[in-house]
Amino acid sequence: MPSLETDLFAPVRLGPYQLANRIVMAPLTRSRAGEGDVPRPMAAEYYAQRASAGLIISEASQISPEGKGYAWTPGIYSAGQVAGWQTVTRAVHAKGSRIFLQLWHVGRISHPDLQPGGALPVAPSAVRPNVEVFTEQGMKPAVTPRALDIGELPRIVDDYRQATENALAAGFDGVEVHAANGYLLEQFLKDGANRRTDAYGGAIDNRVRFPLDVVAAVCAVAGSERVGIRISPVNNRNDLVDSDPEPVFSLLVDRLDAMKLAYLHVVEGITGQTREVAGAFDLGRLRRSFRGLYIANNCYTRELALAARRDNSADLIAFGRPFISNPDLVERLRRGAPLTPPDMKTLYGGDEKGYLDYPTLEPA
């Protein structure tokens, strides 16, 4: 085993918890939930296999039936879903790791086939995204969403509050508010989707309001030390961009810092594609502005993770897709061992194949 002068594999404090190391399993949609969007029993084994991560952030889980945007994704709004997740949290805790649930409302990235009663998806404004949506019948073009009335926003905030209560009842150690990758909260943040003229649109003070309302409601339930948030300032995922993201996200992070969250989870660049940041936006400013832990995400390799700790550009490093096909990723990173590539045909939907059957290293 190579000698490493790094604290990447050393314990670190996150809120009230001592994590075994600074490696995070990022949220990974796998579309394997059962009837009623309940996590299936195999999910407990899947997460337990990967519990050498200091922190696991669960796959995104819809806070309500309206929040769903992909076939076979789990929810966190019913008693059955809470019971299903309890098997997962018990399995992860038995392996000595910590797990947060990612709270999800997809907004316009949905389809009537996935909505209660075949309704239109909701969004800040009626702007159709140029994407396809994964339904049980296959990929279908997204539709023009229905713009939310201002009077509906408290209902969605309450859905986040209730989902947080449910997550804690399911045994999660905390929650992550998903405000990235083109979903509802980021739709409010970015002017590519937010054309509102009321108190939640236009000026950046208005566009950060709804995400901050959600975070405040979640913190009131869980306590800010058990709440994180994920953002993707320069991402164009799900056909969502902003004309000038730096002031928007600088203001947002300043306000989040004042709320004393456990962590800020940042997608650096474009998810799964590039770490390059167009324009003059210095993402390092977000790191410097936030006094909680900073989780860096997107296309990290072992070398980049080690470098991030050497120069202290991140407190923890999140790995996504490598965790799918390397359940023992932490040990592989520690040894500098080769990584198993994922089977792209089994990423979404299906059974144990491509989910529970990836190999691990022989003991050292």
End-to-end CA distance of the chain: 8
Q: Is residue 125 part of a domain?
A: yes
Residue found by looking up tokens 């990173």 in the block: 333
Is residue 58 domain-resident?
Answer: yes
Catalytic residue ranges: 183
CA gap 257, 227 in Å, rounded:
12
- State both tokens at 130: 């140029």
Residue-number span of the structural domain to which 16 is assigned: 12-346
Q: Domain count of the chain?
A: 1
The phi-psi region of residue 107 (left if phi > 0; otherwise alpha if psi is between -120 and 50; otherwise beta) is left
Inside any domain, residue 129: yes
In a domain, residue 1? The reply is: no
**Which two structure tokens, joined as six digits, stand for 11?**
């314990």
Rounded CA-CA distance 52/47 in Å is 10
Beta strands in 249-362 (DSSP E): 263-267, 293-297, 316-319
Is the alpha carbon torsion for 255, 258, 263, 268 positive or negative?
positive
Can you give the pLDDT at residue 277? 73
CB 204 within 8 A of CB 248: yes
Residue 359: inside a domain: no
pTM equals 0.97
| pLDDT for res 1 | 42
Residue 2 included in any domain: no
How does pLDDT run along the chain (364 residues), one tens digit per residue? 444 689 999 999 999 999 999 999 999 999 999 999 999 999 999 999 999 999 999 999 999 999 999 999 999 999 999 999 999 999 999 999 999 999 999 999 999 999 999 999 999 999 999 999 999 999 999 999 999 999 999 999 999 999 999 999 999 999 999 999 999 999 999 999 999 999 999 999 999 999 999 999 999 999 999 999 999 999 999 999 999 999 999 999 999 999 999 999 999 988 877 777 767 688 899 999 999 999 999 999 999 999 999 999 999 999 999 999 999 999 999 999 999 999 999 999 999 999 999 999 988 7
Parallel, antiparallel or unpaired: strands 23-25 and 17-19? unpaired
Q: Which of 30, 52, 89 is nearest to 328 (CA)?
A: 52
Asked if the structure places residue 268 within a domain, the reply is: yes
Does 87 map to a domain?
Answer: yes
pLDDT value at position 363?
Answer: 83
- Collapsing DSSP to helix, strand or coil, 71 comes out as coil
User: The CATH number of the domain where 130 resides is what?
Assistant: 3.20.20.70
